[in-house]
Amino acid sequence: ATHGMLIFARVTLDDSGVIALQGGEGVGTVTRKGIGLPVGSSAINRTPRQTIESAVREAIGPNRGAQIEIFAPEGEERAQKTYNSRLGILGGISIIGTTGIVTPMSEESWKRSLSLELEIKRAAGLDRVVLVPGNHGERFVREQMGIDTQVVVTMSNFVGYMIEEAVRLGFRQIVLVGHPGKLVKIAAGIFHTHSHIADARMETLVAHLALLGAPLELLKLVSDCDTTEAAMEHIDAYGFQHIYNHLAERICMRVLQTLRFTKNPPTCDAIMFSFDNQVLGSNRPIAEIAEEMQC
């Protein structure tokens, strides 16, 4: 939706020593909890904030301060083509991302480039692989699990395709690591996780909470959520955190179901983490999985 639009930054220097960043015209405002930003703040995610602040600090030196305003004159109009309003981001676009770099490709060439990385790792002798949706997952694996990122490959939304490629190449262990916002879809048998293809996050959470005996009040609260992060707050409040282990087991079951005609299917594990890099759940002890991935 933002392709080709102009996005500006206005920087005013001062002597405060502090760098302050805010959104201006065309940048949305957060009006609901659940996306990892305070209500009332500009919809600029943590990684872009860090990237912008780091670049400005490098330019102005260690002692000066700056007021930074990001604005996009077409932002409010373009935001009509996004899901922002459903997420409670009103008045414009959101500044998101984990690297600041967009690589434009067709879906097929994108999938092929991800598969190529699998082939390179298999050729190097690796037979265990960690598949993550993106950079956040890779960071979690490195920082919280102590696993060498040499065994990590990005799968983006192409979960089924990358699992099939890992099987084709003869990997004997696949570990899926990600935020529930992506992985919970796999528990429902959805193996392409882009929201344009399918989105049954809340329905899946509600169904499995019900199986675990959750009260109707919690089921209704979760059903009304727009984001998994918002749903997770209710789940925590009602003490149903054990659902994440349950979902991780279900994810592995779904993966093995799809591989039921495979001669020598790999073992499968699943781990879910929160936006603040805390482990939420796994199908078996994480220490066991991490130790195996070091072998």
Each residue's pLDDT tens digit, 134-191: 888 888 999 989 888 889 999 999 999 999 999 999 999 999 999 999 999 999 999 9
> Residues 259-287: pLDDT tens digits?
999 988 999 999 999 988 899 999 999 99
Q: What is the pLDDT of residue 100?
A: 61
Lowest mean pLDDT among 79-93, 163-177, 250-264: 79-93
Cα–Cα dist 178/140, whole Å: 9
Please state, in angstroms and as integers, the Cα–Cα distance from residue 171 to each residue in 118, 119, 139, 238, 264, following that order.
9, 10, 22, 39, 10
Q: Considering the domain 107-294 in this protein, what is its CATH number?
A: 3.40.1050
Is the pLDDT reported for residue 90 higher than 80? Answer: yes
Q: Around 70, how many Cα atoms within 13 Å sit in the side-chain half-sphere?
A: 24
Cα–Cα dist 123/120, whole Å: 5
Q: What is the pLDDT of residue 104?
A: 59
pLDDT-derived band at 69, boundaries 50, 70, 90: very high
pLDDT-derived band at 99, boundaries 50, 70, 90: low
Considering the entire predicted model, what is its pTM?
0.74
Domain regions of the chain by residue span: 8-90, 107-294
